[in-house]
């Protein structure tokens, strides 16, 4: 095993990222790179990132007021205000590009060209630059110019048609988040490739691509099986019993992904495994409503906590449905360092959801030990102007 100590600044320490994105998909990608130790300079227009106004809730007053939405996607960044329609500010950005490793943008197709910052120009300024671009529906094709908003993409990408009982959006902007994650890993791969080739390249993705890319078995249900997936509410479309069931006082979740687990559950609940409706997984899926009724008739006799204890003792996967506040109070969440604290210049100590990654035995969230708070608008403008002056 390599005994070399991990860099407390993160594996992307020394990488400079220019983040020209706003809202969520692009900012989430930039934040992921920042979590890994990259220096991220967020370039905002005079009015700031749109998400600064997405609330309530807000914290602070007047000039220091920030939305908690903005805070969710902008830790580990510096904020610089530039008006790219002004020649001086555009020239400053070009100087920054010459020294940058990555530039992220999520403008509509054609906007960067109109600003004089098209792909060819950026690579003239810096042949080693990795350019990351995220759009709503893709940079080309018949609908390339459509604006991209998460819920629209969830619907157009088919996700809402298989969620809930009637068309339902996922409770977080999942199309944005998936696009951001895809962009971050694509950019990281391009940085690795650059070590071999010496040149950067352009990485593109979209909200649509993010949604279609996680269709998983629902996609092959159609492309291979010829079956159009339908919503199955809080139950798995291809496995039963696997879903949400009502006990006497609260719902609980049970997941029997094979016949052994089904027999254990049936034995606990006193259900007949020889019943032809429930003999195989395919039978149970076909008779899901009957199976759900049979399970809930028994679960209704005791509390969810009592059933969860018995299921755990048998080794049957099961769990409760936690509220967000309960998740953050849960000792298991805290043991995984999924919360982090930052010191904000205007709001003091803030607790934020942390990075999902841990490295080696490091007892902190993400790739870096010390995290920066979400910046105030233009907080670092003067310092960055001085750093990149002629």
- Which of 277, 294, 320 is the last residue in one of the domains? 320
- Other beta carbons less than 10 A from residue 144's beta carbon: 15
Q: Does residue 11 sit within a domain? A: no
pLDDT confidence bin for 6, thresholds 50/70/90: low
Residue ending a domain, among 272, 287, 320, is: 320
Torsions phi, psi for 204 (to 5 deg): -120, 145
Task: Note whether residue 32 is domain-resident.
Answer: yes
307 and 350, same domain (yes or no)? no
DSSP per-residue string spanning 193-261: HHHHHS---EEEEEHHHHHHTT-HHHHHHHHTT-------TTB-SS-SSEEEEE-SSSEEEEE--SHHH
Identify whether residues 39 and 95 lie together within a single domain. yes
Assess contact for 200 and 122: CB atoms under 8 A. no
For residues 201 and 135, state if they share a domain. yes
The reply to whether 52 and 117 lie within a common domain is: yes
Residues 339-356, mean pLDDT to the nearest whole number: 92
Is the distance from CB of 347 to CB of 60 less than 8 angstroms? yes
The rounded mean pLDDT for the chain is 94
Q: Give residue 2's pLDDT.
A: 53
pLDDT top residue among 323 and 111 = 323
Q: Is 236 assigned a catalytic role?
A: yes
Same domain, yes or no, for 93 and 41?
yes
Please report whether residue 113 resides in a domain. Answer: yes
Confidence of residue 1 (pLDDT cuts 50, 70, 90): very low
**Residue 210 and residue 159 share a domain:** yes
User: What pLDDT, in 10s, does the model give residues 170-209?
Assistant: 999 999 999 999 999 999 999 999 999 999 999 999 999 9
- Say whether both 61 and 155 belong to one domain: yes
Dist. CA 90–CA 161, nearest whole Å: 44
330 domain residue, yes or no: no
The per-residue b/e assignment along 293-302, b for 16 or more CB within 10 angstroms, e otherwise, is ebbeeebeee
Domain count for the chain? 2
Determine how β-strand 130-135 pairs with β-strand 102-105.
parallel
- pLDDT, tens digit, for every residue of 133-161? 999 999 999 999 999 899 999 999 999 99
Exposed, middle or buried: residue 200 (CB in 10 Å: 0-12, 13-18, 19+)?
A: buried
Please give the distance of CA 66 from its chain centroid, rounded to a whole number. Answer: 21
Task: Quote the pLDDT of residue 368.
Answer: 87
Question: In the chain, count of helices (H) and strands (E)?
Answer: 16, 13
pTM, two decimals, is: 0.93
- 341 and 370 inside one domain: yes
Domain that holds residue 300: 242-246+251-320
Report the pLDDT averaged over residues 70-98: 96
Give the CATH number of the domain where residue 314 resides.
3.30.1540.10
In a domain, 1, yes or no: no
* Count, residues in the chain: 390
Q: Are residues 299 and 352 part of one domain?
A: no
* Catalytic residue selected from 139, 236, 337, 380: 236
Q: Which of 268, 292, 320 is the last residue of a domain?
A: 320
């Amino acid at each position: 095993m390599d005994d070399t100590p991990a860099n407390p600044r993160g594996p992307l320490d020394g990488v400079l990222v220019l983040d020209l994105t706003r809202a969520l998909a692009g900012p989430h990608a930039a934040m992921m790179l920042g979590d890994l130790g990259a220096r991220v300079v967020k370039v905002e227009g005079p009015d700031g990132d749109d998400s600064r106004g997405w609330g309530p809730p807000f914290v602070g007053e007047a000039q220091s007021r920030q939305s908690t939405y903005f805070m969710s996607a902008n830790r580990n960044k510096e904020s610089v205000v530039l008006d790219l329609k002004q020649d001086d500010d555009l020239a400053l950005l070009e100087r920054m590009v010459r020294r940058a490793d990555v530039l992220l943008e999520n403008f509509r197709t054609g906007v960067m060209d109109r600003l004089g910052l098209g792909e060819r120009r950026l690579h003239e300024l810096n042949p080693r630059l990795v350019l990351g671009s995220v759009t709503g529906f893709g940079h080309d094709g018949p609908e390339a110019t459509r604006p991209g908003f998460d819920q629209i993409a969830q619907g157009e990408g088919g996700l809402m048609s298989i969620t809930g009982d009637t068309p339902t959006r996922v409770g977080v902007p999942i199309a944005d988040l998936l696009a951001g994650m895809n962009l971050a890993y694509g950019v990281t791969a391009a940085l690795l490739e650059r070590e071999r080739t010496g040149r950067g390249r352009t990485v593109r993705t979209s909200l649509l691509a993010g949604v279609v890319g996680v269709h998983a078995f629902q996609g092959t249900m159609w492309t291979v099986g010829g079956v159009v997936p339908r919503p199955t509410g809080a139950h798995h479309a291809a496995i039963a019993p696997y879903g949400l069931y009502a006990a006497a006082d609260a719902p609980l979740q049970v997941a029997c992904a094979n016949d052994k687990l089904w027999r254990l559950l049936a034995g606990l609940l006193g259900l007949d495994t020889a019943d032809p409706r429930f003999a195989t997984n395919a039978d149970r899926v076909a008779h899901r409503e009957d199976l759900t009724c049979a399970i809930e008739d028994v679960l209704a006799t005791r509390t969810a906590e009592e059933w969860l204890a018995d299921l755990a003792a048998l080794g049957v996967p099961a769990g409760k449905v936690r509220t967000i506040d309960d998740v953050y109070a849960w000792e298991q969440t805290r043991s995984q360092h999924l919360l982090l604290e930052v010191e904000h210049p205007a709001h003091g100590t803030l607790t934020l959801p942390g990075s999902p990654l841990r490295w080696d035995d490091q007892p902190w969230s993400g790739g870096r030990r010390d995290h920066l708070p979400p910046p105030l608008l233009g907080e670092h403008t003067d310092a960055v102007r001085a750093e990149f002056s002629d």
